[in-house]
Structure 1
Amino acid sequence: MRKTTIVLAVLVAGFAFLTVWTWKKLNFSPISETSLRLSLDNVVESLDPAKAYSDDSLLVSAQVLEPLYQYHYLKRPYEIQPLVADGLPQILNKGKLLQIKIKKGIFYHPHAAFSKPRELEAKDFVIQFKRMALDDLKSPGRGLFNGLIEGFEGYNKLVGGDWTRIESTPLAGIEVKDKYTLVINLTKTEPNMIYYLALNFLSPVPWELVQHSKNNLDHVLIGTGPYHFKGYNGQYFDLERFRGYREDFYPTSGDRYANVQNLLNSSKEKIPFIDNVRFFITTAENDTWQKFFNHEIDLLTVPKTFIPRLYDTNGELNPEIKKNGVELKHFPILANRWLAFNMKDPLVGKNEFLRRAIAYSINYEDYIQVISQNTNLRANSILVPGIAGYLPAKDFRFKHDPALAKEYLKMAGFTEKNMPTIVYSTRGNQGINILEADFIKSQLEKVGLKVEVQVLPFSDFLRKGRAGELMFFTDNWLFDYPDAENILQLLVSTNFPGVNKSAYNNPEIDDLYQRLKETMNPDQKDKIVHQMEEIIFQDLPWIPMMYESSFVLQYPEIKNFRKSSIIRNYVKYLKIEK
């Protein structure tokens, strides 16, 4: 008996030794959960894919929802690749018919709406197209498909605005060939349709979920993505790795930057890597900064007002940052910033000379210094570098000329005795928004204008802007897809009320925009873009200000990060290695 016990003990000890040796020899890491903490700048009003359009709401949603296509994480110029689609669309009928296969074996996250595991089907995309067509949802993406998809524009009237009828009422341009095949019928060719199919708007929504929520998905987030939504407690959103996620792998190729920055070290490894993700809502920039240096946030897009803190007087990285062992990276992004007028406003909208006076009142070099510490570039176009049609040698249309500004004020009909009051509304209530407002106010007051600053939270800015209730404001645009059309849509009359916050209405621009959407020839597209830009500069609903970029602070254990304004589903590629 004793001999048996001794032998058993020796075997157990030997097995334990062998296990430890093998663990170390093969360099296995201990099995432990990993967590990533990120920050949001603003309160998220809706998570409904038909409605969500702020950068914060899209960032949360992109980890959970999956449209048909996505962008290659490590390639620039941007390259479209299948996500839940099983290959690129089969294009028929001279470009007017798209047939798209859906991958089999993709399942939604568990939800009370499903009585059993629910597989993704082609019909779920049909439901989402129909939802976007409903008036009540006021989807910002709706304008992309009006007049493009057969029956889309009249679908709300067809169902009488009643969401309960969409499941049984066909939409002529969207149908399913079989369980895994989606068919899209277009009224005309659309070169950018592949980009549209990569937008969050077209993430699939099962009918069972629509019924269960009575078509109110503002606080519902169910998808097929690598993370499932655990909840929101008023301070943060919690996501957890979806254990039923299909096999997917980190990219095996990339551009020069990806190779130089060692972003291909995780090639062929199964994603996602991180178990838990928490998005903190920290609207106060000081709080965000402190959270990062308290190691409560792992990645921080540096607020513009904090850029001076990055470097010392010699231009070296600030010792405070060095001692914390964090890394600083600078990324170009496809983002433009401009001053905008409400063209329906009886004061600024109806007086071109007043708008020109304002355009010549601004010291653009000082603006770049104040807002970005000279880390951003002054805008010479409505387009941004990296978008086809952008002309780097294009002259700056407006310059700082106070004397000319005063002449335009006289031409506008104003003197010192009857100088009007301009109401400038901020694009949020963070430090950078107040700093920007103070700068614009001081510039306009130097030529004699009176300025009243209206400080708005970002949610109020969006609501009022889309309703046409602002007079004069700063706006910006993070491109959703790499094409000039994406920003020019903001000046199309049919997009007001909505994303056309300037309420700009010029039939010639509307006509050129439609031609732009239909044109396949790159040279012809560039010609149309340049023609549109000249008209816009003449009418002056916008004053281009600067092209934005981002500084990001990250702790060294965060691997594989590459910032992009277009690619938001990046969390699945991140890895934590301590």
Structure 2
Amino acid sequence: MLKSYAAAVLALVVGLGSGLGSLPCAAVTAEAHTTQTASAPKVLRAFLSTGETGLDPAVASDIASLSLLENLFDPLLRYDYLARPVKLQANTLAAMPSVADDGRTYTFHLRQDVYFTDDPAFQGARRQVTAHDYVYSLKRLYDPALKSPWSFLLEGKIVGDAALKARFGYDGDIAGLQAVDKFTLRIRLNAADPNFLFYLAIPATGVVAREVVEAYGVQVGNHPVGTGPFKIGTWKRSDQISLLANRDFRPMFFQGRRLPLVDRVDIKIMEEYQSRVLGFLNGEFDFLEQLPESMKEMVLTGDAQPTLKPELARKGLVLSPFPVLQTYYMWMNMEDPLIGGYGKDKVALRRAIALSYNSAEDIAQMKKGLALRAETPLPPNVLGYDPAYRSPVGYDPALANALLDRHGYNKGPGGLRTLPDGKPLTLVMHTEPSMVGRLRDELWRKNLNAIGLRVTFKGDKKTEIIKASRLGTVMMFETNWVADFPDGDNFYQLLYGPNKAGPNYARFNLPAYNQRYEQTRTMGDSPARTRLYDEMAQIIHAYTPWVLLTHPISADVRQPWLRNYTRHPVEFTNWRYLDVDAHTRR
């Protein structure tokens, strides 16, 4: 990755806010609403890179499902579409919440024009959203039957929530989670949490109706009933999905026009990279986010500062490079009998694996220059990121070999190493059965074989791998994390010991790390917190539960007929704001 392009992209994201106003609020009068013409419906055409697993806000955690949930369900807050740096704004609230008790008490006044979409569970009634619905929805994150991957957001933070842990029930009162009246919600925290409002802007905290959940039971994720700008139309699992504009959606406006701006969103699941790019170039999709690195030559030219191929530029396509709040890493199971543990021999094995990773080759050949080397878990532009920090672990196969020799991982026949007790040593890395997955397998095989480590690959769908990871049955897996909110806490919590049944797939549990993490949770963005983050990064490099890989730079391309397109750093989709010009669309 040449520095000139990286610098240009980072400057771009900082400058996005200049000249862009905030999203016009819902108070814009109905007279400003421009109605759709009676002509053919406006259809936005998009794709998702993986299949959805289910549409229950409390349960779903994959990007495809979250992208859909963002458009079907409503948390209390959302991000201003255009504001940079990112800024929260009221969503189902009449105004931003009031804060008291030194940041421990929040009072939310709900809008009174928020309704669930029609469903037989409501028995013909038009179902208004109340504060009680949000109490119920937030309690669902604690429900042991759901095993919500989002429980870590709230557990131990809300006054009295220990009762939910001891004996869960939806009907009992919790002191810190109260519907004061029909449209007033009050949340009291045990301690101030600078990121608390960010939690209330993610799909997991979207409002659901109790009668819908009880009507459909374990199948509720197959019957999404929300309050968002869209509702489910057709749904062919992990293949094609259509979202229909919810024309009962409360008055929300963008540039004087009522949201959503299109009548339908047609979504295809496109797992193969080549199919996505060819589909976009053929006009089947209105935009292409995160151009696959292996397909770069089909769309871009140049290395120092990639640009669109001249023939595509002449067609009016627009390129927007975008630094994603995302970190790629390869985690190793700290409880696995072969690779896990905190003893010197196990640390040496994992450290050698990290030293075998050639980041320069990965970025140049696999990422095609569209990435930055990851020094810490934090990507640039996340609060707490330290641009001066440099990882002490670099590509050094000679040091990796010396480390393995010193700790008894001796070479046997064929130059492959054994365990210190002489037994065979075979690493097992889970992988996704795709073209890119196979290419990455070969990169890892070459790197690991170079230091005498045998590795085999076990292919499966990512959703299945994640399920197995939460059970602790996966040894190693390369994955990535996209920011749920733009703060370092969202990344460093991935290695917090108590989260090992959730997003801490490495099952890392070290007191020195946990203590520092707990300290940072009560701190706002500050030099003192950044110093603690740097210490946590040093612990990660010392014990190596992760091999830190890259932060991608997304090459986003859009068709000339797409209007209002701006990539948001945190939210997964911008579908409600997008419009298409039917006169120029082909």
TM-score range, shorter-chain basis? 0.7 to 0.9
- Which amino acid letter does the alignment assign opposite residue 421 of structure 1? T
Q: 1:422 aligns with which of 402, 411, 427?
A: 427
Deviations along 1:80-138, one digit per CA (max 9) or x if unpaired, are 11111122221223322211110111111111111311111111111111211111111
Deviations 1:358-404 (A, max 9, x none): 12112210011122111211111221111222121222322222211
Query: In structure 1, what is the equivalent of residue 499 of structure 2?
Result: 495
Q: Secondary structure at the match of 2:121?
A: coil
Match of residue 338 from structure 1: 329
> 2:90 aligned to 82, 95, 101, which one?
82
Shift in Å, 1:149: 1.1
Residue 559 of structure 1, CA deviation: 1.0
For the Cα contact (< 8 Å) 2:378–2:491, is it kept in 1? yes
The one-letter code sitting in structure 2 at the alignment partner of 1:126 is V
Q: Structure 1 residue 573: deviation in Å?
A: 0.6
Match of 1:328 in 2: 319
Distance change >3 Å, CA 473–CA 271, structure 1 → 2: same
Secondary structure of 2:473's counterpart equals: coil
Cα distance in structure 2, aligned partners of 1:135 and 1:565: 32
Give the alignment partner of residue 515 of structure 1, picking from 515, 519, 532: 519
1:170-214 per-position Cα deviation (integer Å, ceiling 9, x unaligned): 233211111100011211111111101111111111122122112
* From 205, 211, 230, the counterpart of 1:227: 230
Are residue 317 (structure 1) and residue 304 (structure 2) matched?
no
| 2:508 aligned partner | 504
Paired AA for residue 268 in structure 1: G
For the residue of structure 2 that corresponds to 1:433, the secondary structure is: helix
* Conservation of the 8 A alpha-carbon contact between 1:467 and 1:498: no
Structure 1: distance between partners of 2:127 and 2:504: 38
Q: Which residue of 2 aligns with 1:431?
A: 435
- The aligned length equals 529
Which of 176, 196, 200 is 2:203 aligned to? 200
| Matches of 1:448 and 1:101, distance apart in 2 | 62
Alpha carbons of structure 1 residues 366 and 93: separation in structure 2 relative to 1, 3 Å: same
* 2:62 partner letter: S
Q: Which residue of 1 aligns with 2:146?
A: 137
Contact 2:393 2:541 in 1 (8 A): no
Q: Assess, with a 3 A threshold, how the Cα gap between structure 1 residues 521 and 305 changes in structure 2: closer, same or farther.
A: closer
Counterparts of 1:382 and 1:233 in 2: how far apart (Å)? 36
Stretch of structure 1 that moved more, 198-207 or 150-159: 150-159
Correspondence 1:284 to 2:272: yes
**What does residue 268 of structure 1 align with?**
256
Deviation at 1:571, TM superposition (A): 0.7
Conserved 8 A contact 2:389-2:534: no
2:232, 2:243 within 8 Å by CA — same for their partners in 1? Answer: yes
State which of 471, 483, 508 in structure 2 corresponds to 1:479.
483
1:396 pairs, out of 380, 391, 394, with 391
| Counterpart amino acid of residue 535 in structure 2 | Q
The counterpart of 2:549, out of the listed 540, 545, 549, is: 545
CA separation of 1:186 and 1:239: change in aligned 2, threshold 3 A: same
Identify if the C-alpha distance between structure 1 residues 395 and 569 changes in structure 2 by more than 3 Å, giving closer, same or farther. closer
**CA deviations over 1:491-515 (Å, ceiling 9, x no partner):** 0111112211001011222222221
Q: Distance in 2 between matches of 1:562 and 1:361?
A: 38
Give 3-state SS (helix, strand or coil) of 1:391's partner: coil
Residue in 2 aligned with 1:162? none
| Higher mean displacement: 294-303 or 112-121 | 294-303
- Confirm or deny that 1:348 pairs with 2:356: no
Equivalent residue number for residue 293 of structure 1: 281
8 Å contact from structure 1 (residues 108, 119) kept in 2: yes
Residues 523 and 400 (structure 1), Cα distance of their counterparts in 2 relative to 1, 3 Å cut:
closer
Secondary structure of the residue aligned to 2:190 is: coil
Q: Which structure is larger by alpha-carbon Rg, 1 or 2? A: 1
Retained in 2: the 8 A contact 1:335–1:549?
no
Deviations 1:239-267 (Å, cap 9, x if unpaired)? 111111121111xxxxxxxxxxxxxxxx2
| 1:527-576 Cα distance to aligned partner (Å, 9 max, x none) | 22122222222111112111112122221111111223512351111011
The percent identity for this pair of structures is 28
316-325 or 149-158, larger mean C-alpha shift: 316-325
Aligned mates of 1:333, 1:313 — CA distance in 2: 21
Cα distance in 2 for partners of 1:465, 1:558 equals 39
5+ residue gaps, structure 2, are 1-33, 419-424
CA–CA separation in structure 1 for the residues paired with 2:311 and 2:434: 23
Question: For the residues of structure 2 that align with 1:312 and 1:490, how far apart are their CA atoms?
Answer: 37
Q: How far apart are the structure 2 equivalents of 1:569 and 1:108?
A: 21
- Structure 1 length-normalised TM: 0.87
Q: Which amino acid aligns with 1:447?
A: I
Q: In structure 1, what is the Cα distance between the partners aligned to 2:498 and 2:458?
A: 27
Deviation (angstroms), 1:476: 1.1
The aligned residue for residue 12 of structure 1 is none
Per the alignment, residue 12 of structure 2 pairs with none
Taking a change above 3 Å as real, the CA distance of residues 523 and 395 of structure 1, as seen in their structure-2 partners, is closer
* Residue 375 of structure 2, aligned match among 372, 376, 380: 380
Residue in 2 aligned with 1:176? Answer: 179
Please tell me whether residue 58 in structure 1 is matched to residue 66 in structure 2.
Answer: yes
Shift in Å, 1:335: 0.6
Verify: 1:572 aligned to 2:576, yes or no. yes
Q: Map Cα deviations across residues 58-77 of structure 1 (whole Å, 9 max, x no partner).
A: 11111111100011111221
Distance 2:204 2:302 in 1: 46
Q: Helix, strand or coil for the counterpart of 1:214? A: helix
Q: Structure 1 CA distance, aligned partners of 2:99 and 2:361?
A: 50
CA distance in 2, matches of 1:156, 1:397: 41
Distance 1:491 1:511 in 2: 12
Q: Which is worse superposed, 445-454 or 392-401?
A: 392-401
**1:122-178 CA distances to partner (integer Å, 9 max, x unpaired)?**
11111111211111111111012111012334415424xxxxx52x32233211111
User: Which TM-score applies when normalising by structure 2?
Assistant: 0.86
Q: Using the TM superposition, give the Cα deviation of residue 277 of structure 1 relative to its aligned residue in structure 2, in angstroms.
A: 0.6
Contact 2:44 2:579 in 1 (8 A): no
Opposite residue 297 of structure 1, the aligned amino acid is F
Match of residue 366 from structure 1 = 361
What is the distance in 2 between the residues matched to 1:270 and 1:322?
Answer: 32
Contact 1:37/1:296, CA 8 A, preserved across alignment:
yes
Aligned partners of 1:558 and 1:575 also within 8 Å: yes
Equivalent residue number for residue 536 of structure 2: 532
- Mark the CA change 1:324 to 1:463 in structure 2 (over 3 Å): closer, same or farther: farther
Q: Distance in 1 between matches of 2:307 and 2:503?
A: 41
Alignment partners' CA distance in 2, 1:393 and 1:93? 36
Distance 1:319 1:530 in 2: 44
Paired AA for residue 363 in structure 1: N
Residue in 2 that maps onto 1:71: 79
Looking at structure 2, the residues matched to 536 and 363 of structure 1 have their Cα atoms a distance apart, in angstroms, of 18
Change (3 A) 1:125 1:407: same
**2-side partners of 1:216 and 1:152: how far apart?**
27
Give SS of 2:253's match.
Answer: coil
- The change in CA–CA distance for 1:389 and 1:520 in structure 2 (over 3 A counts) is closer
1:452-503 deviations in Å (ceiling 9; x for gaps): 1122211112112222222122121100001111011110111112211001
Q: Which moved more, 1:517-526 or 1:403-412?
A: 517-526
Question: Structure 1 stretches (4+) deviating beyond 6 angstroms?
Answer: none
